[in-house]
Amino acid sequence: MAMTLRSQRLGDLLARFSGTYSTHRPLIQRILNASFALYVVGSTYHGLSSRPSAPNKDKGKGKGKKDVADQSGKPPKVAVDALFYRRLSHILKIVIPGLTSKEALLIVMHTCLLVFRTALSLYVASLDGTIVASLVRAQPRQFFLNILRWMLIAVPATWTNSWLNFIQNKLTIAYRTRLTNEVLAQYLGSEAEGPEGKVYYKLSNLDDRIVNADQMITNDIQKFSAHLAAIYSNLAKPVLDVILYNYQLSQNVGAEGLIGLTILVQSTAALLRYLTPPFGMYTAMSAQLSGSLRHTHSRLVEFAEEVAFMRGEETEKLLLEREYASVVKHENLLLNRRWWFGCIEEAIIKWLWGSFGLVLCAIPVFIKLPGTLTADLGGRTEGFITNRRLLLSSSDAFGRIMYSYKDLSELAGYTARVSLLLDTMRDIRNGKFEKALVNSATTGENAEILKNRGEVIESEDIQFENVPIVTPNGDILVKSLSFHVKPGQHLLIVGPNGCGKSSLFRILGGLWPVYGGVVRKPAASEFILIPQRPYLCLGTLRDQIIYPHSKAEMAARGIRDADLFDILSVVQMDNVVEREGGWDAAKEWRDALSGGDKQKIAWARLFYHNPKYAILDEATSLVPQEMEGMMMQHATRLGITLLTVSHRPSLWKWHALILQYNGTGGYVFTKLDAEKRLALQEEKQTLETKLLEVPKMTARLAELRELVARSK
Ligand SMILES: Nc1ncnc2c1ncn2[C@@H]1O[C@H](COP(=O)(O)OP(=O)(O)OP(=O)(O)O)[C@@H](O)[C@H]1O
């Protein structure tokens, strides 16, 4: 009796609840829909928002680091974390400089088109349902009318898709151009910036963080731009789609079912996210390894002749094979991870979620939803087809949000590479270098020297006052160097190999930092360097002589081709104009000219620019002595002061001063009396030759003594 009473009361309660629920269902539906929209936006934001970085994540700047690898050789973790968002927002300011920029405009156009496409898809879903319903109801007029609508909708649909593609690619190019311009401006700097620039030199010589800047500037920036342009449509569009499709779906099947489906989908999505391999780190690693392989190949191309003469093919092949093996090993690992992840991804997204969806579509067929009318067969079919299409589109959009996590981690990989390049260049411009130092540089007096910075003052003369000469890895070649050269006083610099002769020029040219003392020198534009292997640029024969001037700059200086011809006659190279096909002949001059010819062209360049000072680093080693004399004489006549490193005694007579290193950190700076020095050198050589005879003479003397003793 009591039992029946209780079950009756329960029944009443349920009936009252269902009544209240039916009355308030429209409001409940609205609340559920709004919560759903908030949930999609919130969960996407949460998924993409920062997770704390691992403790050592930002230490991609440690000593001796190569690109993004850390000291243990392992790549640092690249994740979609706070560090990634910091880096990305910094780069975004470069690629989208303002709300009125071209890029911002493209994004607005892209957004409008994305919304338009979603609206079209919603219309197509309901049209699909109506077409099938008219088939089931056997209404031919209705059917053909709907087919006509279907064909008409194809026009804006295809137009929108092409435009979306077009604008996304335009955005890629625009981002790439902005980033490339920014990087090149910092990498090559403008001439006005003087020695603070020259980042391209310092990046490879004074810093260890980046080994292949070329790969980063060309490949990584391009990949970053493409990923950034794609991520917007891969993320914004699906989020919008999921909300709109699901709203529409909830109108048809009820928000309750949709919420149930979402709970199921989200729990499996969490599992999928948990299983996602660290694709961002793999991307950064791939870029680094392929950069390394390309670098090894380009070294072989650059030093092909040297390798050929040394018969170094086997060693080079081993090096290339080693680099290639690392690339392949990594690509295989990536392929394996992608394979099994692809299986899990498809099983969950396509099949599991697909079956959840079919169940959802069946709700209005099997369950009569409060507030809806009972439909006939055609109506049920129409509802099913429309819902199925909406659901497919919605699950496709949701899948794309899921995929976008993968895209986002790949973007994180490229962001890490691009921001490493930008950060390193910024540090270099601020005089901050990171390089593996020699042991002595980290302790005691040497460490003290490295902490200081010297003063550079512009002046007519060249004067060093207590300036230490320090290599980029902290090796101190000379503790304190002082000398003074006035215009017109040619200086000869001599000393054993590796003692720091060329390093002095690097300080003069502003390539190496001044760690102490005072350097007085004219502006860098007053110097020209002629190294032993002069640089020949891409371009015409004329460009080789006037480099780095352009033809217009040459004309502005009032110099004509005939003047260049006269300059070439000084170095006896005038025949090259006809031989190589005229001033406008363009070729790889590095291969077209011999070593001596290259040195002569560099001398012609010196005469064309006619600077105050010329730095000659073994610049006449490949030309005959009489030619060398003529070139020195002509430079002196033009008023160029020469700073010469050479082992040739024939050059002594041209110089007034000598800076002689002893190779153990000491040096002598004095006037050079070439005649006296030559006489001393001659006497020294005669004595050395005589001394070489001594052991022979001693042996012969011993022999003679024995013979004499025996004959007694
Ligand atoms: N970019 C660099 N990074 C680290 N060390 C360097 C760098 N460039 C040169 N050095 C080191 O600086 C030292 C001096 O080099 P430098 O070129 O001044 O010698 P040099 O006296 O001109 O010798 P040589 O007569 O053989 O040309 C060498 O030990 C060299 O290894």
- Ligand 1 centroid distance, CA of 500 (Å): 6
**Residue nearest atom 9 in ligand 1 by C-alpha distance:** 471
Distance 330 CA to ligand 1 centre (A): 36
pLDDT at position 598: 93
Give the DSSP per-residue string, 670-708. Answer: EE--HHHHHHHHHHHHHHHHHHHHHHHHHHHHHHHHHHH
Assigned token pair, 564: 């260049």
DSSP H helices in 517-574: 541-546, 551-556, 561-570
Res 107: pLDDT: 93
Shortest-distance Cα residue to atom 19 of ligand 1? 498
State phi, psi for 669 to the nearest 5 degrees.
-120, 120
Has the ipTM of the complex gone over 0.85?
yes
- Kindly list the protein residues whose Cβ atom lies closer than 6 A to any atom of ligand 1: 205, 471-473, 477, 495, 497-503
Q: How far is the CA of 648 from the centre of ligand 1 (A)?
A: 20
For residue 205, the ligand 1 atom closest to its alpha carbon is 1
Question: Looking at ligand 1, which residue's alpha carbon is closest to its atom 17?
Answer: 502
Residue 681 has pLDDT above 90, yes or no: no
CA of 504 to the centre of ligand 1 (A): 10
Q: How far, in Å, is the centroid of ligand 1 from the Cα of 621?
A: 19
What distance in Å separates the CA atoms of residue 638 and residue 630, rounded to the nearest whole number?
A: 12
**Contact assessment for residue 312 and residue 93, using Cβ atoms and an 8 Å cutoff:** no
pLDDT tier at 87 (50, 70, 90 boundaries)? very high
pLDDT, average across residues 658-662? 91
Of the chain, the end-to-end C-alpha distance in Å amounts to 157
Residue 194 has pLDDT above 60, yes or no: no
Measured distance CA(46)–CA(40) in Å, rounded = 10
pLDDT of res. 368: 66
Task: Please give the distance, rounded to the nearest whole angstrom, from the Cα atom of residue 503 to the centre of ligand 1.
Answer: 6
C-alpha 534 – ligand 1 centre gap (Å) = 18
| pLDDT given for residue 88 in this prediction | 93
Closest Cα to residue 208, out of 15, 428, 39?
428
Tell me the best of 208, 471, 530, 661 to mutate to test the pocket of ligand 1, counting ligand atoms within 8 Å of each CB and taking the most: 471
Q: Are 150 and 131 in contact (CB under 8 A)?
A: yes
Separation of CA 470 and ligand 1 centre (Å): 10
pLDDT digits (tens, 9 = 90+) for 224-266: 999 999 988 788 778 887 777 777 777 767 777 777 777 887 7
Q: How far is the CA of 612 from the centre of ligand 1 (A)?
A: 25
Atom of ligand 1 nearest to the CA of 473: 4
Ligand 1 atom having least distance to the Cα of 499: 21
Tally of CA atoms within 13 A in the half-sphere of 13 that contains its CB: 6
CB proximity list for 549: less than 8 A, separation 6 or greater: 557, 609
In whole numbers, what is the pLDDT of the chain averaged over residues? 83
**Most informative mutation of 499, 506, 645, 662 for ligand 1 (most atoms within 8 A of CB):** 499
Question: If you take atom 4 of ligand 1, which residue's CA is the nearest one?
Answer: 472
Ramachandran angles phi, psi of 243, nearest 5°: -65, -50
Q: Whose CA is nearest to atom 8 of ligand 1?
A: 471
Nearest protein CA to atom 31 of ligand 1, as residue: 498
Q: 157-166, 186-195, 419-428, 480-489: which has the minimum mean pLDDT?
A: 186-195
Q: How far is the CA of 212 from the centre of ligand 1 (A)?
A: 22
Give the global pTM. 0.70
576-612 pLDDT, tens per residue?
Answer: 999 999 999 988 888 889 889 999 999 999 999 999 9
Token readout for 556 is 């502005």
**Range with lowest mean pLDDT among 80-84, 266-270, 444-448:** 444-448
Residue 182's contacts (CB-CB under 8 Å, 6 or more residues apart) are 94, 422
Looking only at the bridges linking them, the beta strands covering 586-587 and 539-540 are antiparallel
Atom of ligand 1 nearest to the CA of 618: 27
Mean pLDDT of 383-396: 76
Give, for ligand 1, the residue of 503, 647, 659, 662 to mutate: max count of ligand atoms closer than 8 Å to Cβ.
503
Cα 420 to ligand 1 centre (Å): 28
Tokens read off for 639: 């008023």
| Centre of ligand 1 from the C-alpha of residue 477, in Å | 9
